[in-house]
Structures are given as C-alpha cells and as structure tokens.
C-alpha cells in the first residue's frame, strides 16, 4: 500500500479545453478517499489520470515515492473497478481474476491461492466457473472488485462502481465495500482507495475523507462530518446533505448592538459568536444557509426565531417528513420528525404555518464568491 499525491495536476484536451485546473491532493496510506461532484466536474478524468488511462497535461503524480506521470497503467501498481464492471466476456470468472496475475508471470500455485483468497473474501467461490453473462449485476460487481483485490495493488481506484445497481443492492454493496476496506486493514493489508461517485450519500457513508470537485477544481477536502458542519463554500453546502441546505439571498443588517440577517421580510438575529467572525460592514448582500433539520414546526432546544411561512407540500420519508414551504415567496425545506406531524394536521396547501428557525445553526456565505464567511 502506498500514499498517493497529486501536485498541481492539470488536464488540457487537444482542442484547448481545460478540464482539470491544478489539483493538489494527498491521499494517505490506507485511506478511503471519495471524489464527489456533479456530472462534468472532472472527477472521473482525475481518476483516469491516476490510472494512466488519460495523459497528464501538467503537474506531478506520485504513487508511493515514485513519480508515475509517464508510466504505463500496468506499471503504476493500481487496480481499477469500472462502472460497467468491464469483465472479459469470453473468460470464466476464475480466468477473469487470474488474467492479470498470469500476465505478470506469477507461478500457478500462487495465482490459484490468490484467486481462492479473493473468492473466499467476497463469498463468490460458487461463481468461479461461470461466464460473466451468467452473473447478476451484484455478482458481476463482486467479481470486478475481486479482480482488483487479487492484484494486491498499491492503490484501488473505483469509478462509480455502484451506479448500475438498483437502490437496494447499492445500499448493500455500500456496506460490503466499507466492510471490505476495514477487513483488509484488520488483515494488515490496508488498501489506499480512491472512489469516484456523483452520489453524496455514497460519499458521506463510505469516505474517510471526501474531496468535493466542481468544474475541475477542488472545493474542499475533509471528513464527512466536517464537510457537513463546516462547508467551505455555498456549493459544498448545497451539494452535501439531503435534502439540501436552504440557500437564500439575504442582507446583513445592523440590529441593536448586533448583526442580523434580513431574509425576505424576516429578520434573523445572528448569535454574537458568529457575528464576531464576520469581517463585513453591514448592510451588505450575503447568502444565508440553513439546513432543513434546523427548521422545525416545534420549538427546539435553545433559542429560535419564529417565522410564518406558507405550506406547499410534504414528503413522508417514514421516520421523518420533509415540509416544503415558502417564506416571503422564497422556497425552503424543513425536516421534522414524523411525530411532530400532528402540528400540521388539517392544514392544506397555501395555509400559513409557524416555523422555528435556529439562528445558532446559520451559515453565511459571500454573495458573489460563495465562500463561507464564518470559517
């Protein structure tokens, strides 16, 4: 296993389009790093550059202590799991697993041992003599992971490996991959993993650290909780979390001795601790951010600001309910426990409802650049 470091990595296509703008990132030895971002953010391009499937236009890529910019894919000590599995259709599962080892010239006994180990680890011993077309999606996925494991690579690369599975299987495989990473670590073979996904749930649940990308630039690299609690900018704030954070244009205004945020006709007082961090002269335009769980129909613990909104509709998720409403014509979402639903009983679309907003949980972003002003 090895650490992976990207230093000012760039990708410029022959037509002049720059897809990746000087990325700096260090993935620690044995770390599970997730690249997440919307379509077209170049997360897959970065992964393919690490794999050696895409040339690197600028910067330096190191795996372990070696610069690998100009090494062929096979010399980089990596293994990759593809979105559509890319199993060799004319080979049985056993041959699919052994193919890379055979090319590497490993002795037959060792190949058999490694294939058997991987089959046991992924519980697919009964699949070894099948052809890929005889496998279900989940099974093919496991074989693809197995093909990576037998190689005992320095770095594992995953390119949206779960996006072809149905929702239920995806959740199961998520748990399985996380467990696999932990069990490899327990065995003393910690695996450095770079995992690409567009699904923030996958990123939050699997990643030890997450790298959020947008338009070929890194927005923030941190642990899932840190990303959630302290997003570096409005983009990260909106991308991480489901339902997404309420982001609204607001005015920073003076209110008494302190500061407040003027949102539609509502004035939310900013707690002193937060106000102290702001280096702005009120009044000025900002973007206000408040996660749905910090808006409730019941009075929360601690202070809250009471605001009247107009109900639009609700989404029942089982244990909780997403309440969609507007305040002064601006839409927002609240996330309330299902047992608080009694408060909404008998209310219809267009009815007025009082919401409790928690000013202590407010985020303030720069209106132009989106930078988090409270960090």
Partner 1 sequence: MSAPTTLLFTAHDAEVAAAQQRRSERRARAQLLLRYTALAAVAVLMLYPIVWLVGASFKSNAEIFGDAGFWPQHLDVSSYAKGWKTSTEFTFATYFLNSFLIAVPRIVVTVISCVLVAYAFARFEFWGKKLLFSIMVATMMLPHVILRIPQYLMFREFGWLDGYLPIIVPSAFATDTFFVFMLVQFLRGIPRDMEEAAMIDGCNPLQLLWHIIVPMLKPAIVSVVVFQFIWTMNDFMSPLIYLSTVEKYPVSLALKMSIGATEEVEWSSAIAISVVALLPSVAVFFAAQRHFIDSAASSGIKG
Q: Work out which of 15, 65, 103, 186 binds partner 1, going by CB under 8 A.
A: 103
| Both tokens assigned to 148 | 């990576």
Question: CB of 63: closest distance to partner 1 in angstroms?
Answer: 13
How near is the Cβ of 85 to partner 1 at its closest, in Å? 6
The CA R_g of the chain, rounded to the nearest whole Å, is 25
Segment holding 195, helix H or strand E: strand 192-197
- Which listed residue (15, 16, 65, 89) binds partner 1 by CB under 8 A? 89
Query: 355: which 2 tokens?
Result: 């919401």
Which of 30, 59, 100, 238 contacts partner 1 by CB under 8 A?
100
Residue 13 in the binding site for partner 1 (CB under 8 A): no
Contact 219, 365 (CB under 8 A): no
| Nearer to partner 1 among residue 127 and residue 232 (C-beta) | 127
Alpha helices in 190-321 (DSSP H): 200-206, 224-229, 234-239, 272-277
The 8-class DSSP code of residue 372 comes to B
Tally of helices (H runs) and strands (E runs) in the chain: 9, 20
Smaller CB distance to partner 1: residue 93 or 266? Answer: 93
Phi, psi of 296 (to 5 degrees): -140, 165
- Write down the least CB distance from residue 52 to partner 1, Å: 8
114 is an interface residue for partner 1 by CB under 8 A:
no
72: Cα within 13 Å, side-chain hemisphere: 2
Restricting to residues 155-194, name those near partner 1 by CB under 8 A.
Answer: 164
Q: Which is nearer to partner 1, 83 or 112 (CB)?
A: 83
- Within positions 62 to 81, which residues make up the interface with partner 1, using CB under 8 A? 72-74, 78-80
Residue choice 12, 86, 226, 255 for contact with partner 1 (CB under 8 A): 86
Tell me whether residue 89 or residue 350 sits nearer to partner 1 (CB atom): 89
Asked whether position 12 contacts partner 1 by CB under 8 A, the answer is no
369: contact with partner 1 by CB under 8 A: no
Under the criterion CB under 8 A, does residue 84 sit at the interface with partner 1? yes
Kindly tell me the sign of the dihedral angle through the C-alpha atoms of 69, 72, 76, 80. positive
**Which is nearer to partner 1, 103 or 186 (by Cβ)?**
103
Residue 230: count other Cβ atoms within 10 Å of its Cβ: 15
DSSP three-state, residue 185: helix
Token pair of 115 as six digits: 């294939």
What is the Cα–Cα distance from 193 to 224, expressed in whole angstroms?
Answer: 16
* Residues 237, 239, 244, 245, Cα dihedral to 10°: 10
- Under rule CB under 8 A, residue 341 binds partner 1: no
In the complex, minimum distance from the CB of residue 11 to partner 1, in angstroms, rounded to a whole number? 17
To partner 1, the closest distance from the beta carbon of 40 in angstroms equals 18
Q: Which residues contribute to the site for partner 1 (CB under 8 A)?
A: 51-53, 72-74, 78-80, 82-90, 99-100, 103-104, 131-133, 137, 140, 147, 151, 164
């Amino acid at each position: 296993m090895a650490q992976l470091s990207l230093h000012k990595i760039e990708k410029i296509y022959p037509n002049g389009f720059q897809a990746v703008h000087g990325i700096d990132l260090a993935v620690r030895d044995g770390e599970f790093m997730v690249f997440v971002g919307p379509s077209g953010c170049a997360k897959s391009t970065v992964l393919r550059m690490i794999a050696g499937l895409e040339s690197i236009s600028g910067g330096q890529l190191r795996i372990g202590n070696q610069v690998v910019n100009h090494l062929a894919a096979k010399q980089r000590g990596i293994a990759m799991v593809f979105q559509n599995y890319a199993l060799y259709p004319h080979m049985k599962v056993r041959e699919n697993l052994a193919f890379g080892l055979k090319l590497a010239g490993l002795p037959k006994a060792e190949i058999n041992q490694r294939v058997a180990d991987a089959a046991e680890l992924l519980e697919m011993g009964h699949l070894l003599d099948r052809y890929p077309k005889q496998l279900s999606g989940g099974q093919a996925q496991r074989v693809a992971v197995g093909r990576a494991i037998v190689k005992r690579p320095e770095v594992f690369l995953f390119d949206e490996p779960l996006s072809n599975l149905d929702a239920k299987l995806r959740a199961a495989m998520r748990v399985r991959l996380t467990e696999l990473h932990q069990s490899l670590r327990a065995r003393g073979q910690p695996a450095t993993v770079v995992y690409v996904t567009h699904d923030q749930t996958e990123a939050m649940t699997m990643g030890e650290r997450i790298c959020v990308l947008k338009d070929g630039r890194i927005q923030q690299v941190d642990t899932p909780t840190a990303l959630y609690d302290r997003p570096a900018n409005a983009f990260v704030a909106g991308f991480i979390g489901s339902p997404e954070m309420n982001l609204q244009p607001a005015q920073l205004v003076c209110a008494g001795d302190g500061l407040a945020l003027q949102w539609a006709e509502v004035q939310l007082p900013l707690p002193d601790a937060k106000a102290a961090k702001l280096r702005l002269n009120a009044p000025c335009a900002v973007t206000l951010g408040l996660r749905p769980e910090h808006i409730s129909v019941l009075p929360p613990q601690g202070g809250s600001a009471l605001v009247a909104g107009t109900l639009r509709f609700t989404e029942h998720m089982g244990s909780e309910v997403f309440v969609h409403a507007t305040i002064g014509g601006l839409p927002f979402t609240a996330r309330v426990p299902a047992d608080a639903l009694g408060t909404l009983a008998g209310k219809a679309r267009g009815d007025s409802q009082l919401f409790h907003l928690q000013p202590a949980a407010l985020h303030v972003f720069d209106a132009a650049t989106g930078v988090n002003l409270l960090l």
